[in-house]
Structure 1
Amino acid sequence: MGKKRSRELDGKDPVEADPNVDKMDEDDEEDFDVVNVDFEWFNFDNDIDFEGTKGLLRQLFDVDANLFNMSALTDLILSQPTIGSTVKVDGKSTDAYALCTVLNLAEHAQKEPIEAISKYLAQKARTNESLSAIPPLIEGKKQVGLVFSERLINVPGEIAPPLHSMLIDEVGAAVEDKEPYEFTHYLILSKTYQEVESVLDVEDRKKKKAKEQASVYPFHPEDEVFQRYATAYGSFEYTKQDEAVADSKRAFQEMGIKTFGHMILIEASKYPEAVEAVKKYLSPPS
């Protein structure tokens, strides 16, 4: 890699660095308990971030994480410390609450586990006609940047715009340094979910046979905006889908969730505009 492009906050209040990532309004305390949290952005650090990064990647791949060498994927991400960010709360030495980074699928095509992940994504894209534009790009070794963006469930969506904005800046700086990040497309890997009845609710299930199929929702609200700028987007079933629906994942009161993988393909030229739209969408009302 070229020289390190540091973009830590140099002691500044991270909330001041991006006003859209704000502390919760104290007025809301009347309705619920408020926890004020200051988020900090850091470069990936190979000595600190292995376990936290690996955990978030496993969360992103859900039940299919075991299909790949997640340790090798984590090592590959940590090998490019000037690309991407972690978000933490209690200092640099702690595990990340969120991350965002990108890997060049063509550049790492022969490396573990990118070869396996590329085949997986192409295969899954063929199961959904809406994703038909993706396999030719992957299999043709085009300059596709696979974006990994994930966060813990309670982390607010407002952190997404600065994560993606910093990624754009860092990729631009890397291209100036003649590094292999001059993408034609970004492929954002994400997740969706569908509310489903628990296997324990036998009687309820019988009563609801005629109920329409539940809607599919994004885990990340920014995905709805990215899709407006996308060449292709859509969900797919996990290979180990049966393991995704379990009573241990019951949520939304008496409902459980069935998770799906999701892909969003955006032309590189449209990615900055999409990120700006996400920023406006997730900005708190004035």
Structure 2
Amino acid sequence: MSSNKRKNLNQMEVDANNDESSSSDDDDDDEPHPDAYRGNEEVQVDFEGRAPVDPDAQGISQLLQRLFLRAHINCNQMADLLIAQNYVGSVICQCEDDAESETDDDNMAEDGTVFGITSVLNLSTKKDQPSISQLRTFLLERAQSNATKEVQQRMRDLLDNEEHHIGFLINERFINIPAQISVPLLQNLQQEIDAAKAKKMKFTFDTLLLLVKFHRTEAKKGKESEDHYTNAEDELLSERAKFSFEYSVASECDSGMAGDWLEGDAVMTPYRKLLALDAKQLPKLINDIQKYINGE
């Protein structure tokens, strides 16, 4: 999607009390409670998807920091990589009125907030980039500490295989934006990937890796544990993954965010899960997400 080509996403109801857009670098490692932004007051907001531009860098970086928390990954440099490939990927922004939309594209994000990003990075061709090298190391270390021996080997095989490229799929957004917004963004991403491949750009992936966020209500008093995904579509994707592994991030969050929230008398602990998805199945997965979100 070019910087001047925008897609008006469905009108969404959001909590007017949401204060995430005002968060600073000091609290980038905060992991919001899944119900943190549910309030009694709702406002109607129009969102649009557009190509990322330079002024989006800080907002993209903050979204990435919320995903990776205290991992040693240069989120600022990764944000720059995402912006540089503006022919693939979209950010979510609030729609401007007609007068504002006629302004220069380079200035359109100057005073705005990035509410989300959907994109993909090639972990194979960009492996020498600092942030990608750090991400590859991070994923292998997490697998070593949390995955089965079989999954550890599959991760090593994926990252060592130079013939079959791996894409790191990014699908991050503010927690109070409904899952319906993911469908047009992922559809647009698929179209842009296809267009890039037609131009012989290196976006032919064998596997897509997606890191998702969820909270777990731990088993207690005869009740089984229950997972609550931050993005609703991630629950379906978790079921369709070729393989996955998960890890708790309670120790990486601030003390007020370290898994001591209660749902009734149950503690909710923040987790991350890495999914390995078949890249060729992405169009079908998008269709399945649409049906899943619509309750079909």
Paired letter, 1:159: I
Call closer, same or farther: CA 1:284–1:267 in 2, change over 3 Å: closer
Distance 1:5 1:270 in 2: 28
> What TM-score does the superposition give when structure 1 sets the normalisation length?
0.78
Paired letter, 2:252: E
Spell out the pairing of 1:174-193 with structure 2 (5 A cutoff).
Answer: 174-193=196-215
Paired letter, 1:99: I
Distance 2:4 2:236 in 1: 29
Q: Are the aligned partners of 1:50 and 1:78 in contact in 2 as well (CA < 8 Å)?
A: yes
Q: How many residues align?
A: 252
> What TM-score does the superposition give when structure 2 sets the normalisation length?
0.76
1:55 aligns with 2:62: yes
Match of 2:228 among 217, 228, 231: 217
Q: What residue is the counterpart of 1:231 in the other structure?
A: 242
Aligned with 1:180: secondary structure? coil
Call closer, same or farther: CA 1:229–1:194 in 2, change over 3 Å: closer
Paired letter, 1:71: N
Q: What residue is the counterpart of 2:87 in the other structure?
A: 82
Q: Are the aligned partners of 2:2 and 2:50 in contact in 1 as well (CA < 8 Å)?
A: no
Q: What residue is the counterpart of 2:126 in the other structure?
A: 108
Paired letter, 2:52: F
> What fraction of aligned residue pairs are identical, expressed as a percent?
21
Q: What residue is the counterpart of 2:270 in the other structure?
A: 259
Which structure has greater strand proportion?
A: 2
Q: What residue is the counterpart of 2:280 in the other structure?
A: 269
Distance 1:270 1:253 in 2: 36
Paired letter, 1:178: K
Paired letter, 1:56: L
Aligned with 2:45: secondary structure? coil
Aligned with 1:100: secondary structure? strand
Aligned with 1:35: secondary structure? strand
Q: Are the aligned partners of 2:12 and 2:47 in contact in 1 as well (CA < 8 Å)?
A: no
Is there any run of 5+ residues in structure 1 with no aligned partner, and where?
Answer: 16-20, 25-30, 198-207
Call closer, same or farther: CA 1:8–1:85 in 2, change over 3 Å: same
| Residues 167-213 of structure 1, C-alpha deviations (whole Å, 9 max, x = no match) | 1111100001111101111111212222469xxxxxxxxxx7x6667
Distance 2:12 2:58 in 1: 27
Give 1:62 shift.
2.4
1:135 aligns with 2:152: no
| Residues 136-159 of structure 1, C-alpha deviations (whole Å, 9 max, x = no match) | 101323300001111111111111
Q: Are the aligned partners of 1:145 and 1:183 in contact in 2 as well (CA < 8 Å)?
A: yes
Q: Are the aligned partners of 1:187 and 1:263 in contact in 2 as well (CA < 8 Å)?
A: yes
Distance 2:64 2:127 in 1: 19
Aligned with 1:274: secondary structure? helix
Cα root mean square deviation, aligned: 2.7
Q: Are the aligned partners of 2:248 and 2:269 in contact in 1 as well (CA < 8 Å)?
A: no
Aligned with 1:63: secondary structure? coil
Q: What residue is the counterpart of 2:6 in the other structure?
A: 8
Q: Are the aligned partners of 1:235 and 1:262 in contact in 2 as well (CA < 8 Å)?
A: yes
